Structure 1
Amino acid sequence: MFRRLPAHLGKISAIVAAATVLLTGCSPEYAVLNPVGPVGKTEEHLIILSAILVAIVVIPVLILLAIIVYRYRDKPGNRAPYSPEWVDSKTLEYVWWGIPIIIIAILGAFTAKTTFSLTKPPEANVKPITIQVISLNWKWLFEYPDQKIATVNYCEIPTGVPVQFELTSDAPMNSFWIPQLGGQEYTMPGMAMRLWLQADKPGKYNGYGANFTGAGFAHMNFQAVAVSQSDFNAWVKHVKTSSPVLTKAGYNELKKDGLAKEASYSAYPPGLFNGVVMQNGGQYMYGSQTPSNSNSTKNSSGNMSNMNMDMSNMNMGH
């Protein structure tokens, strides 16, 4: 009933099948390698440097592997020298230990420098804005403490302006990530984390929850909309005049497990973000930077007085 394909047709079929599988996962645009802000561009440079350093090791190893397999394969008349008493080579030891150590040192130095540079605003001469983010199951709530408005599943930001995202969770731990703007940061119950990002040109940039949180995880996406400063001001004014108020009861309904559409609110309960942090343990990361409108005080060393890193109250059962 079944007949074997000719050898050449079988090979062609295998190549086509392999190409189909590989190309299906390809995308015309890799977001991480198409940054639109200073943070994303800095991280792109680090990714490229890492790839180059890895290639310095991987490419010669693959070439040597092919040479060794071909040169020392078992075949009649093989003239490869037979050295049963050979133990080691100090020269080779220095090469295969020295090169990786140098590469790791270079990569570690650049990674540390880049990491510390990204703890500060990308632009020093521009007044930043603050957006407080609460991750819920399975949606994102964005609060603008200076503008007194809030949004769900999208945030609007002005171009060329550093944005400090203050992050927490009123649900299981998640991960806040806008690939084209920069790297991710975790949202954790009882902790306020911080992430600086900036968009240099207008556009809509996809954001994700990059930490698995259950049934609705795949739909826990949002958009970061970058617009000019004048358009941002007009948008804020429009939200204040045309959107409903998010009440405490409305927030309690919003945080129930389930999906949500994009929404805007002209106001939200005062102290909502800090209340979510404190009700889950009240730990603040990055002691030198107090979350907006926080009533917490600093001790003489500049750290938050309640920064004891006690994780006993964190809800890790999810």
Structure 2
Amino acid sequence: MNPATHPARRAAMAGAARAGRWFGLAALLPLLTGCKNLELFNPMGSIAEQEMQLILVCTGLMLLVVIPVIILTLYFAWRYRASNTKATYAPDWSHSTAIEVVIWTIPCLIIVVLAVLIWKSTHALDPYKPIASDKAPLRVEVVSLNWKWLFIYPDHNVATINELVMPVDTPVAFKLTSESMMNAFFVPQLGSMVYTMPAMQTRLHLIGHTPGTYAGMSSAYSGSGFSDMKFPARVVTDADFKVWLEQARSSNDHLGAARLAALEVPTHGAPLQRFSGVDTGLFDSIVARYHGMADDEICLPGEEPGAPPQTLSLAAPASRTAEN
């Protein structure tokens, strides 16, 4: 018999292959040391801090079930192994009141605790709920474009592409929408994620307590340029925010309907841009763009109203699609 086909030899080879796979996975773990701390567990705002605490508490409650199950599974496998003749053999055993009490009471208690926790956290972390502060909130209007972010500061008459700046310890009241497809606005170290949708407006309130630059991103896949939808979210001092406003106002670019149409063209890796003036009501006009339109009136680029619809592709999404 060929040694390679002998059953014992095949079993040994299969075991070696499994061990090799596990060893390979273990060898990859050190590569994770090159990553920075998980952003969700390094909060820089009160909303993010509460969300991290919620994650840790929920994880701990789940471990109350998972860890004992793992330990008992290993213990039972060892205790009642075939070679252990000292273990009690009771093939007719079928019920234990003590065990029934434990396996029903603990899950019920966990469910009650989770219900209370979810009720409280749902209201406390409602993204529409304003943040209590002695400072007046900074208003920012956010529009997701393909594939870039537009930030409008209506109280200061400036706007930016792929740059969000906010003063430290100042609540920021966001209004968000999308020019085309649904997207998701997320700054993990500052707090909640919220979706942006065409013809709709969502809200979000965040605050940063520590000056710094934090990673902002889109957390919903939206086509081939999705990976470029990143922006720096800068939390700065009040003095630095005033300096930044002056820099933005020194720009010669004005954001109006014509410039917005150019920005709506899908691009990859759009650079940072600043605008020293913004048409009044521009954000509201984007939200209202598709209101009252029939399906055959919503056109893709180069399409005429009433024409047969084009086929959309995630790899090349149109710049003007929406649902009524």
TM-score normalized by the length of structure 1? 0.81
Q: Distance in 2 between matches of 1:11 and 1:56?
A: 31
1:103 deviates by: 1.4
SS in 2 for 1:147: coil
> Do the aligned residues in 2 keep the contact of 1:244 with 1:265 (CA within 8 Å)?
yes
Larger Rg: 2
Q: Distance in 1 between matches of 2:36 and 2:136?
A: 35
Task: Select between 112-121 and 146-155 the one with higher mean Cα deviation.
Answer: 112-121
- Out of 22, 27, 41, the residue aligned to residue 20 of structure 1 is 27
CA RMSD of aligned residues (A): 2.8
- Out of 29, 38, 48, the residue aligned to residue 56 of structure 2 is 48
Structure 2 residue aligned with 1:87: 94
SS in 1 for 2:223: coil
SS in 1 for 2:250: helix
Deviations 1:178-225 (A, max 9, x none): 000012111111211111111111110001100111111112111111
Task: Select between 84-93 and 24-33 the one with higher mean Cα deviation.
Answer: 84-93
- Out of 110, 116, 121, the residue aligned to residue 109 of structure 1 is 116
Structure 2 residue aligned with 1:279: 289
Q: Distance in 2 between matches of 1:186 and 1:38?
A: 20
Structure 2 residue aligned with 1:254: 263
**AA partner of residue 217 (structure 2):** Y
Map of 1:134-149 to 2, 5 A cutoff? 134-149=143-158
Question: How many residue pairs align between the two structures?
Answer: 283
Structure 2 residue aligned with 1:208: 217
1:225 aligns with 2:221: no
Structure 2 residue aligned with 1:128: 137
1:67 aligns with 2:75: yes
1:13 deviates by: 6.7
Deviations 1:12-44 (A, max 9, x none): 976763233233345231110001111111111
Change beyond 3 A, Cα 1:64–1:12: closer
- Out of 154, 157, 164, the residue aligned to residue 166 of structure 2 is 157
- Out of 125, 136, 161, the residue aligned to residue 118 of structure 1 is 125
**AA partner of residue 46 (structure 1):** L
**AA partner of residue 19 (structure 1):** A
Q: Distance in 2 between matches of 1:10 and 1:86?
A: 41
Structure 1 residue aligned with 2:107: 100
> Do the aligned residues in 1 keep the contact of 2:133 with 2:170 (CA within 8 Å)?
no
SS in 1 for 2:192: strand
Task: Select between 92-101 and 138-147 the one with higher mean Cα deviation.
Answer: 92-101
Task: Select between 87-96 and 66-75 the one with higher mean Cα deviation.
Answer: 87-96
SS in 2 for 1:67: helix
Change beyond 3 A, Cα 1:315–1:72: farther
SS in 2 for 1:242: coil
> Do the aligned residues in 2 keep the contact of 1:191 with 1:281 (CA within 8 Å)?
no
**AA partner of residue 113 (structure 2):** I
Structure 2 residue aligned with 1:285: none
Q: Distance in 2 between matches of 1:118 and 1:12?
A: 46
**AA partner of residue 237 (structure 1):** E
Change beyond 3 A, Cα 1:90–1:37: same
> Do the aligned residues in 1 keep the contact of 2:256 with 2:282 (CA within 8 Å)?
no
SS in 2 for 1:125: coil
Overall identity of the aligned pairs, in %: 36
Q: Distance in 1 between matches of 2:117 and 2:252?
A: 46
1:262 deviates by: 0.9
Structure 1: runs of 5+ lacking an equivalent: 1-8, 283-313
Map of 1:158-177 to 2, 5 A cutoff? 158-177=167-186
**AA partner of residue 93 (structure 1):** E
Structure 2 residue aligned with 1:264: 274
> Do the aligned residues in 2 keep the contact of 1:38 with 1:122 (CA within 8 Å)?
no
Q: Distance in 2 between matches of 1:275 and 1:25?
A: 46
> Do the aligned residues in 1 keep the contact of 2:158 with 2:248 (CA within 8 Å)?
yes
Q: Distance in 2 between matches of 1:174 and 1:23?
A: 34
Task: Select between 179-188 and 115-124 the one with higher mean Cα deviation.
Answer: 115-124
TM-score normalized by the length of structure 2? 0.79
